[in-house]
Amino acid sequence: MNRGALIVLILLLTLCPVSAKQDPFSYPMSTVILDAGHGGRDPGASASYSFTDGVVNESDLVLDITKRVFALLSIEQPSLNLVMTRLDDTYISLAERSKIAYTTALAPQSSPLFVSIHINSAQSREATGFEVLTKRQEKRVTFLDEHTPIQNIPLFAPFSALELNRLLNQRNLFVAKTFEDVLSSGMNTSRNRGIKERDLYVLNASRIPSVLLELGFLSNEDEARNITSPAWRQQVAFAIAKAVISCM
């Protein structure tokens, strides 16, 4: 952190009252960042089959799923502050997606969740199933700097960086397990590939409890048939929304 940023942070800490020392990720969830992967010049995975109208792109499919999750949560949990990192087929960098996550101001004594939605692809056309990705536990993240919203400072200020990373890891594991269980039930025809730790930029840099979902393999013809079905995408969106609610 440069000298100017450090001075700003000290001023913010001086102006903001520090809350009692309570795990900042144990508060009720108030904010959910929904991240539709890829977009614009980055279509993600793509495929073409006899049952598709030309090439289908991951970016379009996950945007559709994300919008469905947003709509379901808006009805089921109208008090949630729901934020989408992109609303259309626009390219959003990983840094921009992460910044949306960690610069969104939180209500007092509340916690956030970042859910990045993707569809997988593999060289082997036999690969199938969904998986839940979370950041590697040894990867340290920064919580307080010049970009931290003033409202969020009291949540993190009572803790050391080491404590915050430990608490974030604990919450990430709870969130990942919750998503795995709910998706396994809601997507009961899909293979559960489990929870996997990954050193992914968007999980590391978001600075809040986060999961990245790979919802199936577009490279597998049978799964692609499901993924390109609006009814299947609605079923998956329902499972994701239920998982979010289960984390509250």
161 SS3 class: helix
Q: What CA–CA distance (Å, rounded) separates 82 from 230?
A: 22
Total H helices, total E strands in the chain: 8, 8
Predicted confidence at residue 15, as pLDDT, reads: 52
Q: What CA–CA distance (Å, rounded) separates 248 from 244?
A: 7
Residue 83 contacts residue 70 (beta carbons within 8 Å): no
Q: Which domain holds residue 137?
A: 3-246
Residue 192 contacts residue 214 (beta carbons within 8 Å): no
H/E run at residue 78 = none
Predicted confidence at residue 12, as pLDDT, reads: 52
CA torsion, ordered 14, 20, 23, 29, to nearest 10 deg: -80
Residue 111 contacts residue 207 (beta carbons within 8 Å): no
Predicted confidence at residue 21, as pLDDT, reads: 82
Kindly state the DSSP code that residue 152 receives in the 8-state scheme: G
Query: Which residues lie below 8 Å from residue 128, measured CB to CB, with a gap of 6+?
Result: 190, 191, 216, 217, 220, 222, 223
* Paired sense of beta strands 111-120 and 192-198, if any: unpaired
pLDDT in tens, the chain (248 residues): 555 554 455 555 555 554 458 999 999 999 999 999 999 999 999 999 999 999 999 999 999 999 999 999 999 999 999 999 999 999 999 999 999 999 999 999 999 999 999 999 999 999 999 999 999 999 999 999 999 999 999 999 999 999 999 999 999 999 999 999 999 999 989 999 999 999 999 999 999 999 999 999 999 999 999 999 999 999 999 999 999 999 99
Predicted confidence at residue 17, as pLDDT, reads: 52
Q: Where are the beta strands (DSSP E) in the chain?
A: 29-36, 46-48, 55-57, 81-84, 111-120, 130-135, 192-198, 210-217
Q: What CA–CA distance (Å, rounded) separates 93 from 136?
A: 21
Predicted confidence at residue 11, as pLDDT, reads: 55
CA torsion, ordered 179, 196, 211, 102, to nearest 10 deg: 150
pTM of the full predicted structure?
Answer: 0.92
Predicted confidence at residue 106, as pLDDT, reads: 96
Predicted confidence at residue 204, as pLDDT, reads: 94
Q: Which CATH number characterizes residue 135's domain?
A: 3.40.630.40
The token duo for 62 is 């996950």
Q: Integer distance in angstroms from the first to the last C-alpha of the chain? A: 33
Kindly state the DSSP code that residue 151 receives in the 8-state scheme: G
Total domain count, the chain: 1
Please state the φ and ψ torsions of residue 73, each to the nearest 5 degrees.
-70, -35
Please state the φ and ψ torsions of residue 34, each to the nearest 5 degrees.
-105, 120
Predicted confidence at residue 216, as pLDDT, reads: 98
